[in-house]
Chain A
Amino acid sequence: MKVVIVGAGEVGFHVASRLAHENKDVVVIDKDSDAIRRISDNIDVQVILGSGSSPVSLEDAGIKEAEILLAVTNSDETNLVACLVANIISPYTKKLARIRNADFDKYHDIFRDHAPHIDTLINPEIEVVKTIDRLMNMPGAVDVGKFANGSIKFIGINLDKEARLAGSRLHEIPAILGKPSPLIAAVIRDEELIIPSGDDRLMPGDLVYFISEEDKIMDTLRIFDKYAEPVKRVLIVGGGRIGSRLATLLDDKPVYTKIIEKNPDICAKLAEKLNKVVVLHGDGSDQGLLNEENVQEMDFVITLTNDEEINILGSLLAKRMGARKTITKISKFSYFPLMTMIGIEQVVSPRLSAINTILQHIRRGKVLSSISIKGEQAEFMEAVALETSEIVGKPLKNISFPKGALVTSIIRNDNIIIPSGDSIIEPDDRIIIFATRQAIPKIEKILTVKLEYF
């Protein structure tokens, strides 16, 4: 499968790297020679120096043979033009574009049905706001994703030192709890991903990923000694695109919200749009202002400025001044592993969510969604079990699953089954598979292989 990516920024780089790992043919176009060099030095893809919206570059990149075009430059206009040009040169190439301007929100469907026929418009900012909303309602969660239209969620939490389960082996958990253990899919310890077996222990400080049905989430979180606390007061730092979207969302909720923004013009616009939310003009890292605005009483401080260093420092400052929880927006992936170390728990990244959306559309077969977990080492994939696929009709233990992959749940007629070795997947079941990066190509093959040949 050939994929042409326009834009070698952070999103383009990471999507290219992921796809190259999965042995797909990738061509990246960018007009910045440094960005191009970074790609060609690190990833096994073809690179083309030139503007992604130019027909010449697109033809050089072989757009005619490409199955998918991804337009992910920083400029909405370039992305749109790239799709438009591609639509003329190669009408059958599937097109995905990242469009961030909120003005286009209503036009997503129009762009799909009319020229430039963009199959998917990605606005990571919408996703990020949704993620923030989920994180606020989920005590202790550092990572949340949903499947099956939200009826199943996977949640990542940091295991506290005092937690009951800290130090116990997985097979001992039912005895400790007196009820079946939640399905633990993965543990990240010292930046390394572990798929635990019954003999593995949960250690304090682990980032534990588990799967739960929507209505049992609070019970499951209690198992890990995480208790829900209602969110009443929220402080948003940064009134950019994400900040204003979030403020608008909270405006209608019974949450007392304040938003701090440095730029007076943006403040004026925010005040125009928002009703209940208090708009403050000032610097989010100004201790005096934070004090004045009772930061110590805040349930959540959410830092969403465009400067990640300010976000990190702002969150740390707020935490030290007594805010209960913080959520920090970070774009640079290299910062992710540091976050737990410096005491920042919850992180959101528009880029990571853009990557998730993109990958979901690139996956072969009947993959409905796929979500990378922190650090991109592994992915949760939701897929429909095709009648002709290898996994259907025999007990799970008899299926030769690649190492590093695990069927975490089966959804059949709205019932959720947590599978054991004897469970049998039936046609049209929806399954949620957890797979490490190495195992993903094999999983894709298992899900689709027979479809291709019969």
Chain B
Amino acid sequence: MRWRYILNVVGILTLFFGLTMLFPIAVGLYYKDQSVIPFLKSIGITTFAGLLLYLCFRGSRVETITQREGMAIVSIGWTTIGIFGALPFYLGGEFITFVDAFFESVSGVTTTGASVLTNIEAVSKGLLFWRSFIQWLGGMGIIVLSIAILPFLGVGGMQLYKAEVPSPIPDKLRPRIKDTAMLLWKVYALISLLGATLLMIGGMSPYDALCHTFTTMPTGGFSTKNASIAHFDSVYFDSVIIIFMLLAGINFSLHYQMLRGKTLAFWKDSECRFFLGTIILLIVVVTFNIHGAVYENISQAFRYGAFQVVSIITTTGYATADFDQWPAMSKLILLLCMFMGASAGSTGGGMKFLRVMLYFKYCYKELFSLIHPRSVTHIKIGGKVVPEDVTRSVLGFLGLYMGLFALCSIVLAGMGVDFVTSFTAVAATIGNVGPGFANVGPALNYAQMPYLGKWLLIWCMLLGRLEIYTIIIFLVPEFWRK
């Protein structure tokens, strides 16, 4: 482990992140609100800290970095970005304790969307813009963005990319990682632009349209309104947002293929088929379940059912209805959605459909070999054999995911949080969803969590965003052994 180099890169990332604060400053100046001063302070502190790290640990020329170092850079980098992203919230006086500001910031960059703000609409526009903007940055990945535009990362970029965008079956669009990263960001920005335009056409103010696009595309879920999307109460906005949440939940390399003219790309990809098929099935079930029990009208039941299923399964976390009041079956389905998450290579969180699909196929293979003990079978996805070690790592991932979920829920419950709240809070943060049930349901938020509970959930959010391994590896003693 070459710590000098690691800290040097973290310094550059911090510096780069600091510079992105120029955008909320511009917004703050435009609306002439009180957020400009805290932002100026934050940008000063962040860039100074970044520069200091960069300069202090300069000079270690490195040609390649190991996987271990890549993971260290990414997890330290993300934590650091979380801390500095919290500065505007803290200095802006929105929060009394730093942990609240830190929670809000990490919830932003990890695209969770769990909030500790009780009255969102009272917050200045510059600060709310920042809250949405960090979700947008975190969605496609701040490190992926740095790989795309900063020239320094070079060869090391690949290890960083793998640590920030872990995927069971890596997918490189171009031969070079820099080009791949650039392409992904271009596709991301293009779809975001389209989304914002459609929202504006429907009559949303440019500010709200931008902020909501910035939280839809990364499947984040922060809103500028207390009532989230329900505030607008419009079928048009609901449908536009449903479509863009779905797009964000689909592997971005498929979007790239679509843009290159392969119109059947979604259909040809087995994960995407499975993803969309599951969503349709769940929407139908939820619609019939809440029809009559909550909504008299079937079209109403479909509107809210569809929105909520898509919002939770893509791990966005917007709300148009208080689904905490829905029947148990719908609630359990939504809980399941929190775990499954979106597609691999998308901006969504959770376990990812590809892994779930691999798991099902693995189970089937096991059953098959019980019936035909001497059969030779392979797990195939899209007609291609999945290597043994990929399956193993996926099983390991699912095991760790469930294990950590159980452990964290128990610890949270031990802090005095009630049963449903503690396990849905952990499920919603580790899956980067946002709202859970009971005391963290869509109508309430995380402000009432105990002090240590907030730290635990911050950790869960990072764990979920970087897909377990990158963060958990720090706790393994072997990692520190020389």
Question: Quick one: given A20-B155, A33-B387, are A42 and B64 in contact (CB under 8 Å)?
Answer: yes
Q: How far is the CA of A219 from the CA of B170 in the complex (A)?
A: 58
Q: How far is the CA of A23 from the CA of B174 in the complex (A)?
A: 12
Question: Are A46 and B155 in contact, CB atoms less than 8 angstroms apart?
Answer: no
Please give me the residue from chain B that is nearest to A4 by CB atom.
B175
Chain B 354-390 per-residue mask, 1 if CB under 8 angstroms from chain A, else 0? 0000000000000000000000000000000001000
Give, as a whole number of angstroms, the nearest-CB distance from A5 to chain B: 11
Question: Are B175 and A45 in contact, CB atoms less than 8 angstroms apart?
Answer: yes
Question: Are B67 and A44 in contact, CB atoms less than 8 angstroms apart?
Answer: no
**Chain A contacts for B174, CB-based, 8 A:** 25, 46
Contact of B170 among A2, A25, A40, A44 (CB under 8 A): A40
- Determine whether A41 belongs to the interface, using a CB cutoff of 8 Å to chain B: yes
Chain A 9-51 per-residue mask, 1 if CB under 8 angstroms from chain B, else 0? 0000000000011010111000001000000111111110000
**Chain B contacts for A40, CB-based, 8 A:** 170
Q: How far is the CA of A2 from the CA of B179 in the complex (A)?
A: 13
Number of B positions contacting A (CB below 8 A): 15
Question: Quick one: given A41-B67, A42-B64, are A26 and B175 in contact (CB under 8 Å)?
Answer: yes
Question: Quick one: given A44-B176, A44-B177, A46-B172, are A21 and B67 in contact (CB under 8 Å)?
Answer: no
- Determine whether B163 belongs to the interface, using a CB cutoff of 8 Å to chain A: no
Q: How far is the CA of A47 from the CA of B157 in the complex (A)?
A: 16
Tell me the chain B residues, 312-347 only, with Cβ under 8 Å from chain A. Answer: none
Tell me the chain A residues, 323-371 only, with Cβ under 8 Å from chain B. Answer: none
Give, as a whole number of angstroms, the nearest-CB distance from B184 to chain A: 15
Question: Are A44 and B155 in contact, CB atoms less than 8 angstroms apart?
Answer: yes
Q: How far is the CA of A364 from the CA of B174 in the complex (A)?
A: 22
Chain A 198-236 per-residue mask, 1 if CB under 8 angstroms from chain B, else 0? 000000000000000000000000000000000000000
Q: How far is the CA of A44 from the CA of B176 in the complex (A)?
A: 6
**Chain B contacts for A44, CB-based, 8 A:** 154-155, 157-158, 175-178
Question: Are A46 and B175 in contact, CB atoms less than 8 angstroms apart?
Answer: yes
Q: How far is the CA of A323 from the CA of B378 in the complex (A)?
A: 58
Question: Quick one: given A33-B387, A44-B155, A44-B157, are A2 and B175 in contact (CB under 8 Å)?
Answer: yes
Give, as a whole number of angstroms, the nearest-CB distance from A423 to chain B: 31
Please give me the residue from chain B that is nearest to A40 by CB atom.
B170
Question: Quick one: given A42-B64, A44-B177, are A21 and B155 in contact (CB under 8 Å)?
Answer: yes
How would you classify the secondary structure of chain A's contact residues: helix, strand, loop or mixed? mixed
**Chain B contacts for A20, CB-based, 8 A:** 155, 176
Contact of B175 among A21, A25, A33, A41 (CB under 8 A): A25
**Chain A contacts for B179, CB-based, 8 A:** 25
Q: How far is the CA of A40 from the CA of B180 in the complex (A)?
A: 14
**Chain A contacts for B178, CB-based, 8 A:** 44
Tell me the chain A residues, 37-89 only, with Cβ under 8 Å from chain B. Answer: 40-47
**Chain A contacts for B177, CB-based, 8 A:** 44
Q: How far is the CA of A282 from the CA of B19 in the complex (A)?
A: 72
**Chain A contacts for B176, CB-based, 8 A:** 20, 23, 25, 44-45
Q: How far is the CA of A81 from the CA of B157 in the complex (A)?
A: 35
Chain B 141-173 per-residue mask, 1 if CB under 8 angstroms from chain A, else 0? 000000000000011011000000000001010
Give, as a whole number of angstroms, the nearest-CB distance from B135 to chain A: 29
Give, as a whole number of angstroms, the nearest-CB distance from A97 to chain B: 21
Give, as a whole number of angstroms, the nearest-CB distance from B425 to chain A: 37
Give, as a whole number of angstroms, the nearest-CB distance from A63 to chain B: 13
Please give me the residue from chain B that is nearest to A23 by CB atom.
B176
**Chain A contacts for B155, CB-based, 8 A:** 20-21, 43-44
Chain B 53-67 per-residue mask, 1 if CB under 8 angstroms from chain A, else 0? 000000000001001
Please give me the residue from chain B that is nearest to A437 by CB atom.
B63
Please give me the residue from chain B that is nearest to A33 by CB atom.
B387
**Chain B contacts for A42, CB-based, 8 A:** 64
Question: Are A27 and B387 in contact, CB atoms less than 8 angstroms apart?
Answer: no
Give, as a whole number of angstroms, the nearest-CB distance from B159 to chain A: 9
Chain B 119-147 per-residue mask, 1 if CB under 8 angstroms from chain A, else 0? 00000000000000000000000000000
Q: How far is the CA of A45 from the CA of B158 in the complex (A)?
A: 9
Q: How far is the CA of A45 from the CA of B175 in the complex (A)?
A: 5
Interface positions of A (Cβ within 8 A of B): 2, 20-21, 23, 25-27, 33, 40-47
Closest 9 CB pairs of A and B: A25-B175, A46-B175, A44-B158, A46-B172, A44-B177, A26-B175, A27-B175, A45-B175, A44-B155
Can you identify 16 A-B contacts, CB atoms within 8 angstroms?
Answer: A20-B155, A21-B155, A23-B176, A25-B175, A25-B176, A27-B175, A33-B387, A41-B67, A43-B155, A44-B154, A44-B155, A44-B158, A44-B175, A45-B175, A46-B175, A47-B172
**A43-B158, A44-B155, A44-B177 known; 8 other A-B pairs, CB under 8 Å?**
A2-B175, A20-B176, A25-B175, A27-B175, A41-B67, A42-B64, A45-B175, A45-B176
